[in-house]
Amino acid sequence: MCGIIGYIGSQPARQIIINGLKRLEYRGYDSAGMALVGEETRVFKCAGRVKDLEEIVNASGFNSSVGMGHTRWATHGEPNELNAHPQVSYKGNFIVVHNGIIENYLRLKKHLESRGIVFTSQTDTEVLANLIEHLYLEGDLNAEQAISLALNRVEGAYGLVIIRTKEADKLFAAKKGSPLVIGVGEGENFIASDATPIVEYTQRVIYLNDDDLAIIKKDELILKTIRTKNIEPEVKKIDLKIGEIDKEGFAHFMLKEIFEQPRAIHDTFRGRVLPDYSGVMLGGLHNIIDSVAQAERIIIVACGTSWHAGLLGEYLFEEYTRIPVEVEYASEFRYRGPIIKQGDIVIAISQSGETADTLAAIKIAREKGARVIGVCNVVGSSIPRETDAGVYTHAGPEIGVASTKAFTTQVTVLAMMAFSIGHLKGVISDTLYKELITELVSIPGKIEKTLAVNDKALELAKVFQNTHNALYLGRGYLFPVALEGALKLKEISYIHAEGYPAAEMKHGPIALIDENMPVVVVATKDDTYEKIVSNIQEIKARKGNVIAIVTEGDEIIKKMADYVLEVPETIPALSGLLAVIPLQLLSYHMAVLRGCNVDQPRNLAKSVTVE
């Protein structure tokens, strides 16, 4: 979950690394560090953000044309200067930045300590740096041999950049489980956790695979495995524009990404919906779609917001394909010996395509004979490369840690899948299929209209900004939306919030309701509308403060609720795509008013590459 960047070339590396770390900060931001290597080697580290590091390195005035940086999300050892990366080996020959976890680090550390090596940090990364140094010195090996040997001894996950200080004409990079991508330039090369810091310099990239070891010079790239087998590098062109990773005038990435949703959803179905709306073509599924239509069961695995999209997917698939669906937290699925039958289809949903638990769940599912479909946003990430088939959401880079457009584009993909599979199975008629697609295509325009609630969401946020708790209720398709609304509030404003199926309120949460409890009821018109109206009455009878998300023109709930936020009318299956927008905006404004760091909430990271 940390961010890594390395540079080798002829330009001054300092600002390239700082700028790169700023782009990667969404991956972790509790401490940061940098090494600049040339005739002299300088390492700078601090607890805190990249901007703090920037002040320190700029004040030093030091620069060179080779270096690497790291922004950290702590796993081993508290986020202080000592534990920040780069970690330097005991004799100072090797400098290492690392994303991931070395699982056998304690055993290795004990062994190295028994050889008299003294450690200065609590990190697993220092163990790796010292192991490399130890093998290098004791085994009379060159740097590449020592690194290969060390990597063959470690268990766990890593994305690594390593420099031997006296060989500043090359960077070593290695990957297992944690992503790394090389940016191929002219007379200069880059290495980073993802392509966002690279795109302003080059569009040509090489995604490293597990067990790859790259030796990166300014005008040469050598790719091997850690077992020293040479590999032919596959250079790909990335389609990522620099504007996509700027705030473009918005105060925060999260707000920009909320407002981008009409465009993002349009990009999700662009080129996939047939011009006359008679069908959708999901190219990435062509080799598997018949098997999905015949499947007796679909299992959806995901984490966080993606799990909420998966839950909505369950409702969509069961309604439109009549295939039973189970939705699992990837972290639970992977450890409980899941029962997978031949012919089962697993759908893994992940914005980043790197979530460790989701990746592990995929591996288990495939080992047990399931075929796995990935629904991911980041092109070229690990999950799409581990799956049998897949559909990209094409939401564009999502930088705000709280997921917004990832959710709505995932739901869009799941809707397209459910409709097309339902049609293939004959569960839905040609006419209904066309109606569903026509409605889906109208969603970006309806979100555009929904975004007009922004001012009202701000007013409401002012009313509720000091609350300590909130309850979010919804039924059917709107239950996952209630969960997602509560998660958004928790993540960025640190207010305790719970999402619940509205009818379950009577079985516990109703005891929490009094005049201090804001209850957000997602109550747009669908088959359970009358039931949720009764739920609102139950809350009002207990003096709860009701904020209702309603369909435009709903006069009934308007009379009962304390506040309403309106969204345009759509079919129940797609109602979540609209109803979630006011919830995202409400959380956003609450967090801003409370002075929270919206894009980088405490303790969280965008991409969770540790278990």
Q: How many helices (H) and strands (E) does the chain have?
A: 19, 25
Residue 200, token pair as written in the block: 């302003």
Using CB under 6 A as the binding rule, whether residue 355 contacts ligand G6P is answered as yes
Using CB under 6 A as the binding rule, whether residue 75 contacts ligand G6P is answered as no
Using CB under 6 A as the binding rule, whether residue 303 contacts ligand G6P is answered as yes
Which residue's structure tokens are 């062994």?
A: 111
Closest CA to 101 of 122, 129, 76, 71: 76
Using CB under 6 A as the binding rule, whether residue 351 contacts ligand G6P is answered as yes
Which member of 128, 129, 401, 510 binds ligand G6P (CB under 6 A)? 401
Cα torsion through 347, 348, 352, 354, rounded to 10: -140
Give just the sign of the alpha carbon dihedral 414, 419, 423, 428: positive
Using CB under 6 A as the binding rule, whether residue 403 contacts ligand G6P is answered as yes
Q: Could you give the 3-state DSSP secondary structure of residue 498?
A: strand
Contact 194, 179 (CB under 8 A): yes
Q: Could you give the 3-state DSSP secondary structure of residue 96?
A: strand
Residue 358, token pair as written in the block: 């989701």
d(CA 499, CA 12): 50
**304-323 footprint of ligand G6P as x/- string (CB under 6 A):** xxx-----------------
Q: Which range of residues in 15-23, 244-252, 346-354, 562-570 is near ligand G6P by CB under 6 A?
A: 346-354
Strand 389-392, strand 469-474: pairing: unpaired
Q: Which is nearer to ligand G6P, 306 or 528 (CB)?
A: 306
Using CB under 6 A as the binding rule, whether residue 564 contacts ligand G6P is answered as no
Q: Which range of residues in 133-141, 204-212, 298-306, 494-502 is near ligand G6P by CB under 6 A?
A: 298-306
Residue 274 CB, nearest approach to ligand G6P (Å): 29
Helical H segments across 71-195, by residue range:
105-114, 124-138, 143-153
d(CA 258, CA 269): 18
Using CB under 6 A as the binding rule, whether residue 475 contacts ligand G6P is answered as no
Which residue's Cβ has the minimum distance to ligand G6P? 304
Residue 14 CB, nearest approach to ligand G6P (Å): 30
Which residue's structure tokens are 């990935």?
A: 374
Any catalytic annotation for residue 376? no
If you ran DSSP here, which 8-state letter would residue 246 be given? S
Could you tell me how many residues of this chain bind ligand G6P (CB under 6 A)? 15
Residue 270 CB, nearest approach to ligand G6P (Å): 22
Q: Which range of residues in 17-25, 171-179, 220-228, 600-608 is near ligand G6P by CB under 6 A?
A: 600-608
Q: Which is nearer to ligand G6P, 14 or 606 (CB)?
A: 606
Residue 16, token pair as written in the block: 């390239």
Residue 205 CB, nearest approach to ligand G6P (Å): 19
Any catalytic annotation for residue 596? no
Catalytic machinery residues: 2, 606
Contact set with ligand G6P (CB under 6 A): 303-306, 350-352, 355, 358, 401, 403, 604, 606-608
